[in-house]
Amino acid sequence: METPVAVSIAGSDNSGGAGIQADLKTFTYFKVYAETVVTCVVAEAPGKVLSIHPVGQGVVRDQLNLSLTHFPVVAIKTGMLYSREIVDLVCEVYEALPKDERPFLVVDPVMIATSGDPLVRPEALERYKSRMFPLADLVTPNLDEAAAILGTKLDTLPRMRDAAVELYLEYHVPFLLKGGHLKSDWAVDLLIDSDGLHEFSEPYRHGISTHGTGCTYSAAIAANLALGLPLKEAVSVTKKYITHAINDSFHWHSKSGETSALRHFWN
C-alpha cells in the first residue's frame, strides 16, 4: 500500500505541543507522510501566548502549491490561519482543484488558545463562515469556537446537541463539537453528519494541561481519513488516541513551575 500524504496548514508552536509540531507527530504516529504549510510563527508555551508573527501570503501560497503539486495529497488539515487573507488564500487554492481531485479537508477553526489568548484576527471569522466551512469535509470547533461561530454560550451537553444541529443546518457539512471545556466527569464530543448525531465519550482527566489537544484531534482525524477510514470510524479511533495522549502526558518541573504536554507517541 502506498503511504498516504497529508498536509497541515497551521502555525508553528515553539513548545512542540500544538500547531504544526503536534500535527507532524500525530501524522507520523498514524504512519501518514506529513507535509506542512506554516502560516504563523507563534511564541507560546502551555498557558501563555507571547507573540504571533504571520508568514507572508506569497510564501504561504508557494508552500501550499508545492505541497499539492509534488505529492499525492489525500487529506488537508487546517489549523491556525490567523487572518482573513490567509483563509481566502487557502480557499482559493483548494477551490481551484478539480472537485473529484480535492483532498479531504478537515478545518480546525483555531481562534482561541487554551490559555484564552486570541489566535485569529476578528475579521477572519466571517471568511471561515462564508467561504471555508462550506468547503470542508469536517469542521472541529471546541466549545469556545462554536460559541463564537453561533454567537451564543455553550455550557451544557443539551446546549451542545442543539448547537451541533444548528451548525449542520446552517453549513450542510459535518461538524465535530469537542466538549472537553465542559470539564464534567466525561469528555463528550458530538459528531453530526448526514446520518444524524453521534456521541463519543471518555472519562475526563482533571488537572492535566490540554495544550494542543484540538490540533492533535483534528490532525488524527485527517490522518485516519487519509488511511481510508469512514468519518465516524476516524473520529472513534481518534477519540481513543487523544484520550491515551492525555492520560499518558508528560510532566516536568521548570523555572515557571509545573509544565505538561501531550504524549503523542503514548505507551
Range of the domain at 130: 5-261
In a domain, 267, yes or no: no
- Does residue 178 have an active-site annotation? yes
Number of domains the chain contains: 1
Element (H, E) at 133: none
Q: Which helix (H) or strand (E) holds 201?
A: strand 196-203
- Among 215, 239, 243, 259, the active-site one is 215
212 is catalytic: yes
210 annotated active-site: yes
Residue 73 lies in a domain: yes
Q: Does 138 reside within a domain?
A: yes
Angle between helices 84-95 and 57-70 (to 10 degrees): 30
Is 207 in the active site?
A: no
| Residue among 212, 216, 238, 243 flagged as catalytic | 212
Give me the pLDDT at residue 127, please. Answer: 96
Predicted confidence pLDDT, tens digits, the chain (267 residues): 799 999 999 999 999 999 999 999 999 999 999 999 999 999 998 888 899 999 999 999 999 999 999 999 999 999 999 999 999 999 999 999 999 999 999 999 998 776 677 788 889 999 999 999 999 999 999 999 999 999 998 989 999 999 999 999 999 999 999 987 677 788 899 999 999 999 999 988 877 777 899 999 999 999 999 999 999 999 999 999 999 999 999 989 888 778 889 999 987
Q: 173 by DSSP, 3-state: which? A: coil
Q: What is the pLDDT of residue 118?
A: 77
Residue 266 lies in a domain: no
* Residue 140 in domain: yes
CATH of the domain at 250: 3.40.1190.20
Contact criterion met (CB below 8 Å) for 13 and 44: yes
Residue 96 lies in a domain: yes
Q: Which of 36, 39, 140, 213 is catalytic?
A: 213
Considering the candidates 210, 216, 238, 259, report the single residue annotated as catalytic. 210
Under 8 Å between Cβ of 9 and 110: no
Residue 115's pLDDT is: 67
Question: Is 70 within the bounds of a domain?
Answer: yes
Per the structure block, which three cell numbers stand in for 39? 502560516
Which residue in the list 17, 19, 180, 214 is annotated as catalytic? Answer: 214
- Angle between helix 213-226 and helix 19-29 axes, rounded to 10 deg: 40
